[in-house]
Protein backbone atom coordinates (compact mmCIF):
# COMPACT_ATOMS: atom_id res chain seq x y z
CA UNK A 1 0.00 0.00 0.00
CA UNK A 2 1.39 3.42 -0.99
CA UNK A 3 2.31 5.73 1.86
CA UNK A 4 0.37 8.97 2.14
CA UNK A 5 2.49 12.10 1.73
CA UNK A 6 2.20 14.82 4.36
CA UNK A 7 4.96 17.18 3.16
CA UNK A 8 6.47 17.44 -0.31
CA UNK A 9 9.66 19.50 -0.41
CA UNK A 10 10.61 20.55 -3.91
CA UNK A 11 13.86 22.30 -4.91
CA UNK A 12 14.15 24.05 -1.53
CA UNK A 13 17.13 26.40 -1.12
CA UNK A 14 18.15 28.69 1.75
CA UNK A 15 20.88 31.28 1.33
CA UNK A 16 22.55 33.78 3.67
CA UNK A 17 24.05 37.05 2.49
CA UNK A 18 27.29 37.68 4.40
CA UNK A 19 30.20 40.10 4.10
CA UNK A 20 32.33 37.41 2.45
CA UNK A 21 29.69 36.18 0.03
CA UNK A 22 26.52 34.15 -0.34
CA UNK A 23 26.26 30.99 1.76
CA UNK A 24 24.11 28.20 0.31
CA UNK A 25 23.07 26.55 3.57
CA UNK A 26 20.39 24.38 1.94
CA UNK A 27 20.80 23.73 -1.77
CA UNK A 28 17.90 22.46 -3.92
CA UNK A 29 16.61 19.77 -1.56
CA UNK A 30 13.67 17.62 -2.68
CA UNK A 31 12.00 14.73 -0.84
CA UNK A 32 8.77 13.74 0.92
CA UNK A 33 7.73 13.22 4.53
CA UNK A 34 4.98 10.65 4.97
CA UNK A 35 2.08 10.70 7.38
CA UNK A 36 2.80 8.94 10.65
CA UNK A 37 6.49 8.27 9.99
CA UNK A 38 9.63 9.10 11.95
CA UNK A 39 12.33 10.46 9.62
CA UNK A 40 15.86 10.97 10.94
CA UNK A 41 17.91 13.80 9.41
CA UNK A 42 21.65 13.43 10.10
CA UNK A 43 24.95 14.97 9.04
CA UNK A 44 27.99 16.87 10.34
CA UNK A 45 27.66 20.18 12.15
CA UNK A 46 27.10 23.02 9.70
CA UNK A 47 25.63 20.85 6.95
CA UNK A 48 22.28 22.70 7.05
CA UNK A 49 20.08 20.36 9.12
CA UNK A 50 18.69 22.96 11.54
CA UNK A 51 18.35 25.54 8.76
CA UNK A 52 16.29 23.05 6.80
CA UNK A 53 14.04 22.39 9.82
CA UNK A 54 13.41 26.10 10.31
CA UNK A 55 12.77 26.54 6.59
CA UNK A 56 9.91 24.03 6.80
CA UNK A 57 8.17 26.50 9.13
CA UNK A 58 9.39 29.56 7.20
CA UNK A 59 11.37 30.72 10.23
CA UNK A 60 14.46 31.92 8.33
CA UNK A 61 15.33 35.44 9.46
CA UNK A 62 17.48 38.01 7.58
CA UNK A 63 20.18 37.94 6.35
CA UNK A 64 18.89 34.48 5.42
CA UNK A 65 16.08 33.77 2.98
CA UNK A 66 14.33 30.89 1.30
CA UNK A 67 15.64 31.64 -2.17
CA UNK A 68 13.75 28.97 -4.10
CA UNK A 69 11.45 25.99 -3.82
CA UNK A 70 8.04 24.83 -2.70
CA UNK A 71 6.80 23.29 0.56
CA UNK A 72 3.56 21.43 -0.16
CA UNK A 73 1.95 20.62 3.18
CA UNK A 74 -1.11 18.42 2.87
CA UNK A 75 -1.62 19.60 -0.74
CA UNK A 76 -1.18 23.33 0.05
CA UNK A 77 1.91 25.35 -0.84
CA UNK A 78 2.77 27.17 2.40
CA UNK A 79 5.24 29.37 0.50
CA UNK A 80 2.15 31.22 -0.73
CA UNK A 81 0.78 31.81 2.79
CA UNK A 82 0.66 35.35 4.18
CA UNK A 83 1.85 36.16 7.72
CA UNK A 84 -1.56 35.51 9.30
CA UNK A 85 -1.84 32.11 7.64
CA UNK A 86 1.69 31.18 8.72
CA UNK A 87 0.95 32.22 12.31
CA UNK A 88 -2.01 29.85 12.31
CA UNK A 89 0.02 27.12 10.58
CA UNK A 90 2.83 27.14 13.14
CA UNK A 91 1.66 25.21 16.16
CA UNK A 92 -1.63 24.03 14.72
CA UNK A 93 -0.29 22.08 11.72
CA UNK A 94 3.44 21.91 12.39
CA UNK A 95 5.51 22.49 15.51
CA UNK A 96 9.17 22.58 16.49
CA UNK A 97 10.97 21.27 19.57
CA UNK A 98 14.16 23.30 19.91
CA UNK A 99 17.51 22.07 21.17
CA UNK A 100 17.57 24.06 24.41
CA UNK A 101 14.11 24.48 25.96
CA UNK A 102 15.49 26.85 28.60
CA UNK A 103 16.02 29.50 25.93
CA UNK A 104 12.66 28.74 24.25
CA UNK A 105 10.44 28.85 27.33
CA UNK A 106 9.64 32.23 28.89
CA UNK A 107 11.51 32.30 32.24
CA UNK A 108 8.88 34.53 33.92
CA UNK A 109 5.89 32.49 32.73
CA UNK A 110 4.59 29.40 34.50
CA UNK A 111 4.24 26.12 32.61
CA UNK A 112 0.43 26.27 32.62
CA UNK A 113 0.56 29.76 31.10
CA UNK A 114 2.76 28.50 28.23
CA UNK A 115 0.27 25.77 27.35
CA UNK A 116 -2.88 27.86 27.86
CA UNK A 117 -1.46 30.70 25.77
CA UNK A 118 -0.66 28.27 22.94
CA UNK A 119 -4.26 27.02 22.94
CA UNK A 120 -5.91 30.43 23.20
CA UNK A 121 -3.76 32.07 20.50
CA UNK A 122 -4.98 29.50 17.99
CA UNK A 123 -8.41 28.93 19.54
CA UNK A 124 -9.45 32.36 20.87
CA UNK A 125 -12.94 31.14 21.83
CA UNK A 126 -11.57 28.51 24.24
CA UNK A 127 -12.03 29.59 27.86
CA UNK A 128 -9.21 29.35 30.37
CA UNK A 129 -10.66 26.44 32.37
CA UNK A 130 -11.08 24.04 29.40
CA UNK A 131 -7.61 25.06 28.21
CA UNK A 132 -6.20 24.30 31.66
CA UNK A 133 -7.84 20.86 31.68
CA UNK A 134 -6.30 20.06 28.28
CA UNK A 135 -2.94 21.23 29.61
CA UNK A 136 -3.23 18.93 32.63
CA UNK A 137 -4.10 15.96 30.44
CA UNK A 138 -1.21 16.62 28.08
CA UNK A 139 1.39 17.17 30.80
CA UNK A 140 0.32 14.00 32.63
CA UNK A 141 0.44 12.09 29.34
CA UNK A 142 4.10 13.10 29.12
CA UNK A 143 4.86 11.83 32.62
CA UNK A 144 4.81 15.13 34.54
CA UNK A 145 2.53 15.61 37.55
CA UNK A 146 -0.12 18.34 37.18
CA UNK A 147 1.28 20.01 40.31
CA UNK A 148 4.28 21.08 38.18
CA UNK A 149 2.04 23.25 36.00
CA UNK A 150 2.51 26.09 38.46
CA UNK A 151 6.30 25.78 38.26
CA UNK A 152 8.57 28.10 36.31
CA UNK A 153 10.99 26.66 33.72
CA UNK A 154 14.04 27.00 35.97
CA UNK A 155 12.31 24.83 38.59
CA UNK A 156 12.12 21.86 36.22
CA UNK A 157 14.83 19.42 35.19
CA UNK A 158 16.17 19.41 31.63
CA UNK A 159 14.11 16.34 30.77
CA UNK A 160 10.93 17.93 32.15
CA UNK A 161 11.52 21.13 30.19
CA UNK A 162 12.03 19.14 27.00
CA UNK A 163 8.77 17.26 27.65
CA UNK A 164 6.99 20.57 28.22
CA UNK A 165 8.25 21.74 24.81
CA UNK A 166 6.95 18.48 23.34
CA UNK A 167 3.59 19.12 25.03
CA UNK A 168 3.40 22.61 23.53
CA UNK A 169 4.02 21.04 20.12
CA UNK A 170 1.29 18.45 20.62
CA UNK A 171 -1.37 20.44 22.48
CA UNK A 172 -3.02 21.51 19.20
CA UNK A 173 -2.67 18.05 17.61
CA UNK A 174 -0.08 19.16 15.05
CA UNK A 175 0.49 16.84 12.10
CA UNK A 176 4.27 17.36 12.00
CA UNK A 177 6.73 17.72 14.88
CA UNK A 178 10.26 18.89 14.03
CA UNK A 179 12.63 17.87 16.84
CA UNK A 180 15.87 19.82 16.45
CA UNK A 181 18.51 18.08 18.58
CA UNK A 182 15.79 17.56 21.18
CA UNK A 183 17.81 15.05 23.23
CA UNK A 184 21.29 16.63 23.00
CA UNK A 185 21.31 18.21 26.47
CA UNK A 186 19.80 15.17 28.23
CA UNK A 187 21.53 12.33 30.01
CA UNK A 188 21.20 8.80 28.63
CA UNK A 189 18.36 7.68 30.90
CA UNK A 190 16.22 10.78 30.32
CA UNK A 191 16.98 10.62 26.60
CA UNK A 192 15.73 7.02 26.48
CA UNK A 193 12.52 7.96 28.31
CA UNK A 194 11.86 10.88 25.95
CA UNK A 195 12.51 8.63 22.95
CA UNK A 196 9.97 6.12 24.27
CA UNK A 197 7.42 8.90 24.78
CA UNK A 198 7.95 10.24 21.24
CA UNK A 199 7.35 6.76 19.84
CA UNK A 200 4.18 6.40 21.91
CA UNK A 201 2.99 9.84 20.76
CA UNK A 202 3.53 8.80 17.14
CA UNK A 203 1.42 5.69 17.70
CA UNK A 204 -1.31 7.51 19.64
CA UNK A 205 -1.67 10.70 17.62
CA UNK A 206 -0.45 9.54 14.19
CA UNK A 207 1.92 12.51 14.09
CA UNK A 208 4.90 12.65 11.71
CA UNK A 209 8.25 13.32 13.37
CA UNK A 210 11.33 14.83 11.74
CA UNK A 211 14.30 14.10 14.03
CA UNK A 212 17.26 16.41 13.37
CA UNK A 213 20.18 14.95 15.28
CA UNK A 214 23.85 13.94 15.47
CA UNK A 215 22.85 10.85 17.43
CA UNK A 216 22.88 8.14 14.78
CA UNK A 217 22.23 5.44 17.38
CA UNK A 218 18.97 7.18 18.34
CA UNK A 219 17.95 7.39 14.68
CA UNK A 220 18.70 3.67 14.26
CA UNK A 221 16.48 2.87 17.23
CA UNK A 222 13.54 5.18 16.43
CA UNK A 223 13.34 6.13 12.77
CA UNK A 224 11.54 4.50 9.85
CA UNK A 225 13.73 6.27 7.28
CA UNK A 226 16.99 8.19 7.36
CA UNK A 227 18.03 11.24 5.31
CA UNK A 228 21.71 12.23 5.17
CA UNK A 229 22.87 15.79 4.47
CA UNK A 230 26.30 17.01 3.42
CA UNK A 231 27.24 20.65 2.76
CA UNK A 232 23.65 21.74 2.13
CA UNK A 233 22.79 18.79 -0.13
CA UNK A 234 20.62 15.76 0.51
CA UNK A 235 22.99 12.94 -0.48
CA UNK A 236 21.07 9.81 0.55
CA UNK A 237 17.59 8.93 1.81
CA UNK A 238 16.02 5.54 2.31
CA UNK A 239 14.60 2.91 4.64
CA UNK A 240 16.50 2.80 7.93
CA UNK A 241 17.33 -0.91 7.61
CA UNK A 242 18.50 -0.64 4.00
CA UNK A 243 20.77 2.34 4.59
CA UNK A 244 22.31 0.99 7.81
CA UNK A 245 22.81 -2.47 6.31
CA UNK A 246 24.30 -1.29 3.00
CA UNK A 247 24.92 2.50 2.78
CA UNK A 248 25.45 3.60 -0.81
CA UNK A 249 26.95 7.09 -0.69
CA UNK A 250 30.64 7.19 0.35
CA UNK A 251 29.85 9.91 2.88
CA UNK A 252 27.09 7.81 4.48
CA UNK A 253 29.51 4.88 4.60
CA UNK A 254 32.11 7.01 6.37
CA UNK A 255 29.56 8.53 8.73
CA UNK A 256 28.30 5.13 9.88
CA UNK A 257 31.83 3.72 10.11
CA UNK A 258 32.74 6.63 12.44
CA UNK A 259 30.17 5.57 15.04
CA UNK A 260 31.66 3.56 17.95
CA UNK A 261 30.36 0.00 18.11
CA UNK A 262 30.69 -2.14 21.24
CA UNK A 263 31.00 -5.22 19.02
CA UNK A 264 34.24 -3.97 17.47
CA UNK A 265 37.50 -5.62 18.32
CA UNK A 266 39.14 -3.50 21.02
CA UNK A 267 42.27 -3.18 18.85
CA UNK A 268 40.35 -2.07 15.77
CA UNK A 269 40.83 1.59 14.88
CA UNK A 270 37.71 3.77 14.72
CA UNK A 271 37.32 5.18 11.22
CA UNK A 272 38.17 8.86 10.80
CA UNK A 273 36.80 10.60 7.72
CA UNK A 274 39.61 12.51 5.96
CA UNK A 275 39.47 16.24 5.28
CA UNK A 276 36.99 18.84 6.48
CA UNK A 277 33.53 20.05 5.38
CA UNK A 278 33.79 22.66 2.60
CA UNK A 279 33.42 26.41 2.91
CA UNK A 280 29.86 27.01 1.69
CA UNK A 281 30.69 30.49 0.40
CA UNK A 282 32.99 28.80 -2.15
CA UNK A 283 31.90 25.16 -2.33
CA UNK A 284 33.78 22.69 -4.54
CA UNK A 285 32.58 22.33 -8.12
CA UNK A 286 30.72 19.18 -9.03
CA UNK A 287 29.97 16.88 -6.10
CA UNK A 288 30.72 18.75 -2.87
CA UNK A 289 32.08 15.59 -1.24
CA UNK A 290 34.62 14.75 -3.94
CA UNK A 291 37.70 16.30 -2.17
CA UNK A 292 37.15 13.82 0.70
CA UNK A 293 35.77 10.88 -1.27
CA UNK A 294 37.83 7.66 -1.55
CA UNK A 295 35.97 6.76 -4.78
CA UNK A 296 36.22 10.14 -6.54
CA UNK A 297 36.35 10.06 -10.35
CA UNK A 298 37.18 12.90 -12.80
CA UNK A 299 33.47 13.57 -13.42
CA UNK A 300 32.92 14.15 -9.69
CA UNK A 301 34.85 17.44 -9.70
CA UNK A 302 33.31 18.58 -12.99
CA UNK A 303 29.57 18.03 -12.66
CA UNK A 304 27.11 17.67 -9.84
CA UNK A 305 25.22 14.35 -9.83
CA UNK A 306 21.45 14.23 -9.53
CA UNK A 307 19.53 12.64 -6.67
CA UNK A 308 18.71 9.33 -8.34
CA UNK A 309 16.33 6.62 -7.14
CA UNK A 310 18.33 3.37 -7.19
CA UNK A 311 15.60 1.28 -5.59
CA UNK A 312 12.03 2.07 -4.61
CA UNK A 313 12.18 4.85 -2.01
CA UNK A 314 16.00 4.77 -1.87
CA UNK A 315 17.72 7.78 -3.44
CA UNK A 316 21.45 8.58 -3.72
CA UNK A 317 23.28 11.72 -4.89
CA UNK A 318 26.42 10.12 -6.37
CA UNK A 319 28.03 9.43 -9.78
CA UNK A 320 28.74 5.82 -8.74
CA UNK A 321 25.09 4.96 -9.30
CA UNK A 322 24.21 6.84 -12.48
CA UNK A 323 25.25 7.00 -16.08
CA UNK A 324 27.99 9.48 -16.78
CA UNK A 325 27.79 11.91 -19.72
CA UNK A 326 30.03 11.16 -22.70
CA UNK A 327 31.32 14.71 -23.11
- Burial of residue 208 (number of CB atoms within 10 Å: 0-12, 13-18, 19+): buried
Three-state SS for 96?
strand
Average pLDDT for the chain: 89
> How far is Cα 257 from Cα 304, in angstroms, rounded to an integer?
25
Percent pLDDT > 70 in the chain is 95
- For the chain, the distance separating the N- and C-terminal CA atoms, rounded to the nearest angstrom, is 42
**Which region holds residue 181: left if phi is over 0, alpha if psi is between -120 and 50, else beta?**
left
Contact yes or no for 53/43 (Cβ under 8 A): no
Q: Where are the beta strands (DSSP E) in the chain?
A: 5-18, 21-34, 38-42, 64-73, 76-77, 94-97, 176-180, 208-212, 225-230, 233-239, 308-311, 314-316
314, 240 Cβ separation under 8 angstroms: no
Condensed to tens digits (0 to 9), the pLDDT of residues 195-248 reads: 887 888 788 878 999 999 988 888 988 899 999 999 999 999 999 999 999 999
- Per-residue pLDDT of 67-124, as tens digits, reads 999 999 999 999 999 999 999 999 889 998 887 777 788 999 999 999 999 999 999 9
Q: What is the pLDDT of residues 136-179, one digit of tens each?
A: 998 888 888 889 999 999 999 877 888 888 888 888 888 999 98
Q: Domains in the chain, start-ordered, CATH in brackets?
A: 5-93+174-308 (3.40.50.300)
What pTM value is reported for the model? 0.90
Q: Tell me the pLDDT band of 268, cut-offs 50, 70 and 90.
A: low
For residues 251 and 288, the answer to whether their CB atoms sit within 8 Å is no
Residues 6+ apart with CB under 8 A from 10: 30, 69, 70, 71, 72
pLDDT value of position 1: 47
Q: Give me the phi and psi of 243, to 5 degrees please.
A: -70, -40
Amino acid sequence: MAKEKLVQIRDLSVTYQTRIGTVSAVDHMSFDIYKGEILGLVGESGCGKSTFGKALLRMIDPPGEISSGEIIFDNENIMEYDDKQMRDFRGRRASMIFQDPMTSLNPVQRIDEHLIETIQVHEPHTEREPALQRSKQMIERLGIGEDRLISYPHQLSGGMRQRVMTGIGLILNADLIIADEATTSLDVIVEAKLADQLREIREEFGVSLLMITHNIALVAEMADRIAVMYAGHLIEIGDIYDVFENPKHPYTQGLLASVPNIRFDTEEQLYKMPGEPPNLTHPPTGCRFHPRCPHAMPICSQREPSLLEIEEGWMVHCWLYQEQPNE
